Chains A and B, each alone.
Chain A
Amino acid sequence: MESTRQITSQDEAIEIDGENFRIGTESIPQVEQKEKVSSRELIERLEDAIEKEDLVFPELREQQRC
């Protein structure tokens, strides 16, 4: 099997949203989002959806269970 590139540095910085983040040297593309929200907003919307709209995450099937 072809060897995957090794990452040894944990301190390589990359700028995201105007801040420096310690992120590995490999860049993994993200799925295009219809609506981009900050992590704070994501938590708030998630909390809201669960509390008010009774959002329930589906249970994993047995073989997927973590």
Chain B
Amino acid sequence: MLSNSLKEIKKSVVILDTCILQYLNNKLIRDDIFKLLKAVEENKNILRVSDFSTYELFSECKPEREKQLSEIWEMFPRYQVVPKVTRTAAHLSTFYRYEENTKGLTISDGDKIVGATAYLTNSYVFTADLNDFPRPFFVEKFRKTIRYKDKEREKMIALYILRADYSVFSHKFKENEN
């Protein structure tokens, strides 16, 4: 059940999906994202990222931007993409492909890596795209909708904090073994 309260998300690790960082580029929604990040931190959660985000953010990055980004990026606690992460991500890919609700979805390898890291570490995922961490594998624990005006046009974005559904993963792993 979705609880639209951050209270239950406490003393845990919250992994920031790469797109959350990129949405900080948008002046119109930046303050709302920072407010939410601060609220998450106030609940004694720890913010981390997957090191796969390094690849995503630094790919084709111009040298001057790379230098600017490197300085702040060094401060981000980053989970390494170790073999158990890639192997779990591969399982996740297989699960998505054969599950009725997720087959046909286009989910990037990066999102599978982040999802696998969150599963393995029992962390939450903070994202702006629910489809990248789909049900039934991930469930919403918190959602905040931001409405804003961009050049007189009403726009909307939703931010989500998700968590792996361990019963679903467990069931899928058992199915996979048979």
Contact = CB atoms under 8 A, between A and B. Distances in A.
Interface string B58-96: 111100010011011011111110101101101100000
B41 interface: yes
Given A35-B74, A56-B25, A7 B79 contact: no
Nearest to B52: A64
B75 A61 contact: no
Interface residues of B, number: 66
B102 interface: no
A63 B108 contact: yes
Nearest to A56: B25
B38 A21 contact: no
Interface class of chain A by DSSP? loop
Interface string A34-66: 111101111101110110010111111101111
Nearest to B66: A58
A31 B51 contact: yes
Nearest to A29: B80
Contacts of B121: 23-24, 26-28
A6 B60 contact: no
Interface in B1-31: 11-13, 17-19, 21-22, 24-25, 30
B37 A43 contact: yes
A7 B90 contact: no
Contact of A47 (B34, B58, B108, B120): B34
A36 B46 CA distance: 13
